[in-house]
Chain A
């Protein structure tokens, strides 16, 4: 591949990076919101994302299996899948908080490792739980999203870029969700309560806020966003399995840290940066190293970036430097 070829595919690569970046941003918001209120890396969030994707797929399947209710309009199908995916994921997130994290909080554990290890346990448990459910139900767990000609239709853009209907939908939905979240957090009563709990749980409680209810709702919001991202991810990349939450989840967490964990605009910025880094890096790495290191090193690139960022700017791109609490 010559330099001119590489130059000509750059716009398309950037566009795909943007798409991936929005998906990462939506997942990263779930991590960052939970971290904001609880200072906990919610490892299980990657599984919440996956559950959203799987639940959305079940909607597609159920409404087009030829038995009973059938929906033929792919846009309506997608809308229903997004609602169900987001809803189920949000509920699972709330359930996880109630069953696994709240007992620890009530006991008042001193050790920070305890909730973190619980989160890892929940993440593993959910993976195989979904696998077991899918195995019992359909006797398979590597699932494939259906494709519709209407959603696959390709449009030609200037600079030689092409974009499919579903990609446009992904971007539009992601932007709408992000704007909605921004409004919710900054301009509503609930948002103010969330910010208060994130700042200081005890003082917030003194001001008449019920921290447990707010934490529950934070999990609901973050989880639903993750679930919607799961449906969009499935739609874009077609394959979803109980284990396909892990890598996007880790990368979205990386994005959240990159932008400054606990910081909502930071998570979006981090997601977009990471999406570009991975697509552009994956495409150009092979060229730069004369074919010796290809796109399989894209995740290595993402992790190495995370380490570099943390070394030189531990608070992330937009984060504030907070001293350690003694």
Chain B
């Protein structure tokens, strides 16, 4: 039964992947890409890594799908949705097949790893949280996570550099128009409360079960997008000081927590075992807010004027 399910899942993933790259039409490729992301999320669940599954579903299928659809919408409006040539690019095909073959060979030549490793199991009681993934992300390898939260910020500043000079003071993204009482505005009222609950819950349980600030933040970002797209809230301008403060809150709190360790005579980013749990909670709350707002802004895109197509 398990084997049959796994085999079917693998076949579906391969079929969705092939349909994405070989199918006719950009729109169809995007749809298959979203399906592929969701199937991958199921596969991660089968492999017992629910944290990765959550991230894959939320970012790989969800937010990336929204971005692709938005880009496709623009191509249509510009009248530029030309059918890409269906010709296979030989060098790219050879490179991809070669890489796949090499990685497959490597996979078979590798030993099956111990999970969790002995060092991790030994140190986990001092981490302040029970979920080993959260322990790695916010304690053992907190330096990586701090930098990753900064990477998000760098991506947003880079995106804002694509703004046209005249649009800099406009609101983020394209202006949205929604028919009052329509399906969209109905969604705008039903989805956000549910999403808020799920997002906050995911972040909260991250301490001892799968979840955490990044996964929860992605769900909250989806709430923000729905609220913006259905006209429930108007996106802010880049100059809005409050929103900018929320953007940097996560990295800033993380940095201050790290410095506290250095100033108190231990190492940078040291969270002493008795207070580690509390410190991680505070950092996660700040990260949750920053991740949610940064992702929302990233998907909304740079400010664009009312008069532009």
The answer to whether A and B belong to the same complex is no
Interface residues of B (CB under 8 A from A): none
Interface residues of A (CB under 8 A from B): none
